[in-house]
């Protein structure tokens, strides 16, 4: 009942007070807009996650102490030189009012953070949402394009081709084109997690394969050495046997002849004595010859064991190679799956064949970085023959607005404006709680004031005089 009464009083409020309430709402919103126009521009941050391969990174200087996480950061900092920052700034048209200080300003907006021993997060802060994403991806691609031992190959990174076309991505179409990808990549997808697992497994397999290779090589060397030794020993033994064979045969013949003589003659018989002397002489000659070396049985056994171990390692290597091949295929499939997300859009589907035919991947040796950065959603890190220290695990897909009062104020104003209007109306209702009858009037009046009477209402004078 009271609500109905209150509503009735609200309706009965004079028009000027309702206009004042509406004006209050408008004034609050206008004040906010005026204030917001003087705020610093809204900033956005975007980040990309890179996989860091320590085995592919150059060895740190012995004099510098690195922990596992700073190694990736230090390497990234060494890769990202001022020249490259200047090229990026020139390409995207960043900081046009900075006279030579573009690189410093760019560096101040760039954050490198080693999240783990094998990952590096690249974060960049800018004032344009889509441009921030593009710049972040460009920095990520710069890092992934770096090859150990070729750190000064700027031409490979395509930096020289950046300058002439300052075309920052600010169009609505570009933003619309990126939005689905951004939505899909905002949260780490299962495919990405799986890709990370596959990459880790791939690295482990490579390490195991390398260890198997190394073991095989060592075993092969030892087996080769053993075989050579056995062969040499056999040759020497055979030579000795060959050298002793005539005397041995002669001795056997003489012993046979002596036996025949002893059947017919006694030992005192001269022919028997002569035969015995010849036998003794032959035996002396045999004794004078070098002994025959025994056969190298231990080496043979070792060689057999080595052969077995090599066979086992060979089988293991075949298995590892098979698994590695599977992982590489799986990684390719996952990356294709990730890249194919924007390709499902019809307008982008038309550009996809063009990219496959004409547009090289950023990992290609002469890939223009500008194209790669602008179309960073479809850019992949290199996975060719060269070993790369960084790989992109998660591209920058969306730029989040930084903590700016502009974010909360619209909500605040949306609440505060109408609230101010309602409060004004309520206060007006209270203020305009009118004299309802003579009884209420008499309650209000001081005692020394006389109530002179009431004049009945007449429609003829209502709201006229």
Partner 1 sequence: MPIGDGRLEAVDLPREGLHSALLFANEQSPAGASYQGVADRLLADGWWNPKRIFVTSPTVGDGKTCTAFNLAWALTTRGASVLLAELNFERPRFSRVLGGLQIRFGIDSAIRRLANPADSVFSIRNKLLSFSAVKNAMRMGEVKQHLPHLASYLNWGGNNFDWLILDCPPVLSFAWNHWFRACARPALLVVREQRTPAVQVRQATSRLGAGLKGVLLNDVVDEGISDRTSDAD
Contact set with partner 1 (CB under 8 A):
430-442, 444-446, 448-458, 460-465
Is 263 or 444 the residue whose CB approaches partner 1 more closely?
444
Question: CB of residue 33 vs partner 1: minimum separation in angstroms?
Answer: 34
Is 152 or 436 the residue whose CB approaches partner 1 more closely?
436
DSSP state for residue 229 in the 8-state scheme: H
Alpha-carbon span 10 to 176, nearest angstrom: 46
Question: CB of residue 187 vs partner 1: minimum separation in angstroms?
Answer: 58
Alpha-carbon span 321 to 307, nearest angstrom: 21
Question: CB of residue 13 vs partner 1: minimum separation in angstroms?
Answer: 11
Comparing CA positions, the residue from 398, 336, 350, 401 lying closest to residue 178 is 398
Question: For residue 236, what are the contacts with CB-CB under 8 A and spacing of at least 6?
Answer: 293
- Dig out the tokens for 51 from the structure: 């996989």
Question: CB of residue 430 vs partner 1: minimum separation in angstroms?
Answer: 8
Q: Counting beta carbons within 10 angstroms of the beta carbon of residue 69, is it exposed (0 to 12), middle (13 to 18) or buried (19 or more)?
A: middle
Helix axes 129-144, 68-79, angle to 10 degrees: 100
Question: CB of residue 3 vs partner 1: minimum separation in angstroms?
Answer: 20
Is 411 or 450 the residue whose CB approaches partner 1 more closely?
450
Question: For residue 195, what are the contacts with CB-CB under 8 A and spacing of at least 6?
Answer: 331, 334, 335, 338, 393
Other C-beta atoms within 10 Å of 195: how many?
A: 24
Question: CB of residue 27 vs partner 1: minimum separation in angstroms?
Answer: 24
**Paired residues of 64 in beta bridges:** none
Question: For residue 442, what are the contacts with CB-CB under 8 A and spacing of at least 6?
Answer: 451
- Dig out the tokens for 12 from the structure: 């009965």
Question: CB of residue 427 vs partner 1: minimum separation in angstroms?
Answer: 11
The helix or strand, by DSSP H or E, that contains position 15, with its residue range, turns out to be helix 15-37
Is 38 or 462 the residue whose CB approaches partner 1 more closely?
462
**Paired residues of 347 in beta bridges:** none
- Dig out the tokens for 220 from the structure: 């092969």
- Dig out the tokens for 168 from the structure: 């920052």
Question: For residue 112, what are the contacts with CB-CB under 8 A and spacing of at least 6?
Answer: 73, 76, 77, 120, 121, 122, 123
- Residue 154 contacts residue 160 (beta carbons within 8 Å): yes
Is 65 or 454 the residue whose CB approaches partner 1 more closely?
454
Is 38 or 436 the residue whose CB approaches partner 1 more closely?
436
Is 35 or 431 the residue whose CB approaches partner 1 more closely?
431
Question: CB of residue 442 vs partner 1: minimum separation in angstroms?
Answer: 7
**What string of DSSP letters covers 261-313?**
HHHHS-TTSHHHHHHHHHHHHHHHHHHHSPPPPPP-HHHHHHHHHHHHHHHHH
Is 411 or 452 the residue whose CB approaches partner 1 more closely?
452
Question: CB of residue 456 vs partner 1: minimum separation in angstroms?
Answer: 5
Question: CB of residue 463 vs partner 1: minimum separation in angstroms?
Answer: 7
298-322 burial, b at 16+ Cβ within 10 Å, e below that, comes to eeeebbeebeebbeebeebbeebee
Is 173 or 454 the residue whose CB approaches partner 1 more closely?
454
Question: CB of residue 29 vs partner 1: minimum separation in angstroms?
Answer: 29
Question: CB of residue 16 vs partner 1: minimum separation in angstroms?
Answer: 11
Is 17 or 293 the residue whose CB approaches partner 1 more closely?
17
Is 346 or 453 the residue whose CB approaches partner 1 more closely?
453
Q: What is the rounded (10 degree) CA torsion for 151, 157, 159, 162? A: -160
Is 252 or 445 the residue whose CB approaches partner 1 more closely?
445
- Residue 151 contacts residue 386 (beta carbons within 8 Å): no
């Amino acid at each position: 009942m009271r609500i109905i009464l209150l509503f009735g009083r609200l309706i009965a409020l004079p028009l000027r007070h309702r206009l004042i309430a509406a004006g209050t709402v408008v004034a609050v919103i206008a004040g906010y807009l005026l204030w917001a126009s003087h705020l610093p521009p809204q900033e956005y941050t975007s980040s990309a996650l890179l996989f860091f391969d320590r085995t592919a990174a150059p060895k740190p200087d012995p004099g510098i102490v690195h922990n596992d996480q700073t190694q990736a950061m230090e390497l990234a900092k060494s890769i990202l030189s001022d020249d490259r920052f200047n090229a990026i700034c020139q390409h995207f048209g960043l900081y046009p009012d900075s006279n030579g200080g573009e690189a410093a300003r760019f560096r101040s907006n760039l954050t490198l953070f080693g999240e783990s021993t094998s990952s590096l997060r690249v974060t960049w802060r800018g004032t344009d949402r889509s441009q921030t994403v593009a710049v972040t991806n460009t920095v990520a691609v710069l890092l992934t394009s770096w090859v150990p031992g070729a750190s000064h190959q700027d031409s490979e990174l395509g930096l020289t081709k950046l300058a002439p076309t300052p075309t920052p991505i600010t169009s609505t179409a570009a933003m619309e084109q990126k939005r689905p990808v951004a939505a899909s990549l905002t949260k780490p997808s299962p495919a990405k997690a799986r890709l990370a697992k596959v990459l880790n497994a791939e690295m482990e397999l490579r390490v195991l394969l390398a260890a198997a290779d190394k073991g095989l090589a060592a075993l092969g060397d030892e087996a080769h050495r053993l075989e050579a030794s056995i062969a040499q020993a056999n040759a020497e033994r055979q030579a000795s046997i060959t050298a002793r064979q005539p005397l041995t045969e002669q001795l056997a013949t003489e012993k046979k002849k002596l036996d025949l003589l002893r059947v017919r003659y006694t030992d005192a018989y001269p022919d028997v004595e002569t035969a015995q002397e010849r036998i003794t002489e032959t035996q002396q000659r045999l004794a004078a010859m070098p002994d025959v070396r025994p056969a190298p049985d231990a080496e043979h056994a070792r060689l057999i064991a080595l052969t077995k171990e090599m066979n086992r390692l060979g089988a293991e290597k075949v298995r590892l190679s098979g698994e590695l091949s599977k992982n590489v295929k799986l990684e390719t499939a996952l990356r294709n799956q990730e890249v194919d997300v924007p390709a499902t859009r019809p307008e982008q589907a038309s550009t996809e064949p063009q990219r496959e035919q004409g547009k090289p991947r950023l990992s290609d040796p002469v890939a223009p970085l500008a194209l790669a950065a602008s179309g960073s959603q479809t850019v992949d890190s290199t996975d060719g023959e060269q070993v790369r220290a960084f790989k992109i695990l998660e591209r920058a897909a969306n730029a989040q607005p930084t903590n700016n009062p502009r974010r909360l104020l619209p909500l605040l104003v949306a609440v505060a404006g109408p609230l101010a209007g309602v409060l004004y109306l309520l206060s007006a209702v209270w203020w305009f709680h009118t004299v309802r009858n003579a009884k209420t009037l008499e309650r209000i009046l001081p005692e020394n004031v006389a109530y002179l009477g009431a004049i009945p209402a007449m429609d003829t004078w209502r709201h006229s005089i």
